[in-house]
């Protein structure tokens, strides 16, 4: 069952680029990645989905409900963490979270305190006394405190130290086990590869690809390392080579062509050793962005 569905969703501005003809769906219970560099249109897509800004074309539904006409009912079941969180500086964390929680019907104070404890967040402090990382923790607790069916995260780990990022990812997996669906928008590709089932790649406001992480990193593009007995040739000419780098006795290739053609080519070269590996999501991502 699709929790989120976008059909040619478009947001146009007079001068700035928005998004154009964005179409994909997110299935119930999955962690879905949304990747692209800053300015690609990730936040615009999310803000349009949440009806913070009005679409100029296309349509979208969440829980089967229209994002514009039924946005009030949708928001009761969504947890949203923006890329930057801003709060009233003179409020205590506990007061802010309690105030936020009372907007939701199924708010439980015990859950709020449990989430804060798991993130090592001191709820007795004032917002103005918190570091950027601790303010982000407040945003995470605020997004999760009402047990939302859909969790939308926009660059969620910025400001968190590596250990706290690990705790945060564990927390998201617990939410997934609870039945929540997670929309994970990030430009940190290693996080997306670690967390997500499928991913959408966006570039300059347009969708490039929607694919499973496994499909993106397997059978499409290969990392090929060639070791020569003496100095490596400056380059290898073969259709399907996306990029190559020669250094001393070694050449590294990013290869997307026919594997038989590659082996035939290698048989003509004085190669001593060959290593063929699956690429990382980052290498696949750069392949799409540079092509």
Distances (CA, A) of 18 to 13, 15, 61, 189: 6, 9, 19, 22
Query: Do residue 26 and residue 55 come from a single domain?
Result: yes
Query: Do residue 174 and residue 268 come from a single domain?
Result: no
What's the number of CA atoms in the CB half-sphere (13 Å) around residue 80? 17
pLDDT confidence bin for 175, thresholds 50/70/90:
very high
pLDDT tens readout for residues 83-96: 888 898 999 999 99
Read off the CATH number of the domain in which 222 is found: 3.30.70
Query: Do residue 250 and residue 177 come from a single domain?
Result: no
* pLDDT above 90 for 244: no
Query: Do residue 253 and residue 194 come from a single domain?
Result: no
Global pTM reads 0.82
Query: Do residue 123 and residue 168 come from a single domain?
Result: yes
Query: Do residue 206 and residue 181 come from a single domain?
Result: yes
pLDDT at 79: 96
* pLDDT above 70 for 259: yes
Query: Do residue 236 and residue 178 come from a single domain?
Result: no
Burial class (CB in 10 A: 0-12, 13-18, 19+), 228: middle
- C-alpha to C-alpha distance for 22 and 29, rounded to whole angstroms: 21
Domain with 74 in it: 2-213
Domain boundary among 188, 213, 238: 213
Number of domains in the chain: 2
């Amino acid at each position: 069952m699709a929790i989120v569905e976008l059909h040619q969703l478009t947001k146009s501005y007079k001068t700035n680029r928005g998004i154009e003809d964005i179409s994909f769906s997110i299935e119930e219970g999955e962690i879905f990645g949304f990747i692209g560099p800053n300015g690609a249109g990730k936040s615009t897509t999310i803000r349009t989905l949440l009806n913070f800004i009005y679409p100029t074309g296309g349509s979208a539904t969440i829980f089967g409900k229209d994002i514009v006409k039924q946005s009030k009912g949708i928001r009761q079941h969504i947890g949203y963490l923006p890329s930057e969180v801003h709060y009233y500086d003179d409020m205590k964390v506990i007061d802010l979270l309690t105030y936020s929680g009372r907007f939701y019907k199924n708010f439980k104070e015990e859950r709020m305190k449990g989430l804060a404890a798991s993130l090592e967040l001191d709820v007795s402090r004032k917002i103005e006394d918190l570091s950027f990382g601790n303010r982000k923790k407040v945003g995470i607790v605020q997004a999760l405190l009402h047990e939302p069916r859909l969790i939308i995260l926009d660059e969620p780990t910025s400001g968190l130290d590596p250990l706290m990022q690990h705790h945060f990812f564990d927390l998201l997996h617990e939410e997934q086990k609870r039945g929540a669906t997670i929309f994970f928008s990030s430009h940190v590709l290693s996080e997306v590869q670690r967390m997500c089932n499928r991913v959408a790649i966006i570039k300059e406001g347009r969708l490039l690809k929607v694919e499973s992480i496994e499909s993106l990193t397997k059978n499409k593009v290969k990392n090929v390392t060639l070791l020569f007995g003496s100095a490596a040739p400056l380059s290898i000419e073969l259709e399907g080579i996306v990029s190559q780098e020669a250094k001393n006795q070694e050449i590294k290739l990013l290869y997307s062509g026919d594997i038989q053609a590659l082996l035939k080519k290698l048989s003509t070269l004085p190669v001593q050793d060959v290593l063929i590996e699956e690429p990382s999501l980052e290498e696949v991502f750069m392949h799409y962005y540079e092509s």
